[in-house]
Every structure is written in C-alpha cells, then in structure tokens.
Amino acid sequence: MTRARLVPLLVVVGSLALGFVVTAPGMATWDSLPHLDRSRWLVHMFGLPSSWRSDRLAETLKWYGPLWALFLGLASEVVLPFVRDPLWVEQSFNFALWPAGLYAVARLLTRAGVCRSTAFLAVALLFGAVRLGGHALVNVNDFPMAMLSMLVMLYLWVALRERERTARAAGRFSWPTLAWLGIVAMVPSLIRPPVVLQPLTLALFLAFYAAFGLRGAPPARRIALPLVPVGAGALFAVAVWPSLWEHGRTLPLERGLLTFAHFPWQ
C-alpha cells in the first residue's frame, strides 16, 4: 500500500479509536435517544438488519436530514452490531469526523496549491474553535453539518479547479463528473435541510461558466452543464431519504421539507 493511501487510512482508524476513548464515559444529551431511534428507523427502511421494533417514528424526526443519521445507523446496526451500546458507537463515529475532517481540510488545501504552512495554520484555527470540537462530542446534527459543509465547499472548489483546464479544452465537463459533483454538493442539504448553499453555488457557477467559459460549445451541452448536477443531486436525495417515498406519509411534501426552516421547537 502506498503512503498516499496508508496515511488517510491511519488517520481514519486513529480518529475512530480516539472517538471510542473520549466518548466512553457517555456523552448522551436530551435528544440523543430520539436521534438514535431515527438512525435505527432509517436502517430499517432500507431493509437492513436493525434493532428497530416500533411501528412508527415521530413525524418531525423523519424530516431531519437522513444522510449522517443513516451513516451512524449503519455503523451501530450493521458494522458493529455486537457492541451493546449503540449510542456509544454513534457518538464515537460522530466525534471521529472532527480529527478526520481537520486532516481532510489540510489535504484539500495543499491539493489546491496552498503551501503546507498555510494549510496547517487553517487547521490550527479550526482546532482552536472550541465549540466545533465540543459539539463533536455530543451533537450528531449541528457538528456534522458544520464540518461537512466546509469540506464539501472546499472539495467542490478543488475538483472544479483541477478539471477546468481539461473541460475548457474539451468544451465540456464529463457527465459522470457533473453527476458526482451534484451528489457531493447535496451532502449538507441531506444533513440539515433546507440548507441549499452548496448545490445552489455549484449550479450558479456552472451556469456562469457555461455562458462565459464555454462559448464555443453547442447550446445543448452548455444548458446541460448546470442541469446534470442538479438532477443527480435530486435523484440522490430521493434515494437516501425514505420520507420522500415511504407509504402513509402524514405531512405534505412541502411542509415536511420546510419543517426545520424556522426551528419551530425553539
């Protein structure tokens, strides 16, 4: 295994080990059990082995973004089902995103051409944000939203920067590339809806690029440039969000999607 692959693997393993150690005393908060139920329900809805035994979940919880909760549910229900405390597993994986995310920030910045010292300075500033690391211990909703929003925006910037020269020469971005970027851009929206900053930024950038960067390309190709990632992101959202396709939904679609727009429980 090359060093380029070994180091990220060691970072992930080390982050998970650290997560299990620091959360071992128990980091449950007032909403930990409801969100544990949500992750179990999501795993159950995809027909995977799950300890979910109830007939229903609170409708409000179904409209909280499914992506990170599904990931945590897979960790506790499928990957480590033998651990007797699923809440410990989920909080450990949640905390692991913090050191792994800081490493990813440094890698993305250096990949974009930022000097290593500047990348380390950026990581140090994030490390010094006490609330970010503190929320990683106890909050399975706000923290992953904050960390992954930053990582997704950085990744989109780096990916577009790396592919722009090839796209300009070919007169287009490949459809698989556009679809992948659209899926990645949807990640924050599927953790904390209705946040749409990343997919909207990507679509607007590609529309601008189609209008001014690919003037010689056929009109159909330029029109497809912002539409393909939007379509791929929408299909991905439908695929991973059972609330959009489950039978017996009690809330109208529009009301469900906007449930957390104004935080009515506060």
pLDDT per 10-residue tile (average), the chain, 266 residues: 86 97 88 92 92 81 92 96 94 96 96 94 94 90 94 96 85 91 96 90 94 82 93 96 80 66 49
CA 218 to mean position of chain CA atoms: 34
Residue with tokens 């027909």: 47
In whole angstroms, give the CA distance from residue 110 to residue 124: 15
What's the pLDDT at 266? Answer: 39
77: CB partners within 8 A, 6+ apart: 39, 40, 43, 48, 49, 50, 51, 86
115: CB partners within 8 A, 6+ apart: none
CA 22 to mean position of chain CA atoms: 23
* Secondary structure (3-state) at 127: helix
Closest CA to 138 of 75, 189, 103, 87: 87
What's the pLDDT at 236? Answer: 97
pTM of the model: 0.91
What is the chain's length?
Answer: 266
Q: Rg (Cα) of the chain, in Å, rounded?
A: 20
What's the pLDDT at 264? Answer: 47
In whole angstroms, give the CA distance from residue 19 to residue 125: 21
Is-contact 232 176, C-beta < 8 A? no
CA 57 to mean position of chain CA atoms: 23
Is-contact 185 233, C-beta < 8 A? yes
In whole angstroms, give the CA distance from residue 115 to residue 178: 28
